[in-house]
Amino acid sequence: MTRRKFTPKFKTKVVLEALKERQTVKELAQRYEISPQQINLWKREFLSQAESVFEKGEKSGKSEAEEKEDRLLKVIGQQKVELDFLKNALR
């Protein structure tokens, strides 16, 4: 038997339904054909990371590659400004 992989979108959908408490975790587990323990694990993970959504000025949800690209573009911009300044100084 192979392990099933669930998308973040699916996990979020299940967790939000569990948090609404319109159905029990057991009912949701039967509906989505997953174990109640799995839903409870996803709920704990979701709630433990929920406060990071409202943090200002910190991680904006960018990947490391996107952050590195932003830093490099900033350096390139700074160097272009310096080159333009030096070119004007030599005239």
Question: What are 3's two structure tokens?
Answer: 């392990």
The residue written with tokens 């009912």 in the block is 27
Contact between 29 and 36 (Cβ < 8 Å): yes
| pLDDT band, very low/low/confident/very high, at 10 (cuts 50, 70, 90) | very high
The pTM of this model reads 0.58
Exposed/middle/buried for 14, CB within 10 Å: 0-12, 13-18, 19+?
A: buried
Question: Per-residue pLDDT tens for 27-54?
Answer: 999 999 999 999 999 999 999 988 888 8
| pLDDT band, very low/low/confident/very high, at 24 (cuts 50, 70, 90) | very high
| pLDDT band, very low/low/confident/very high, at 59 (cuts 50, 70, 90) | low
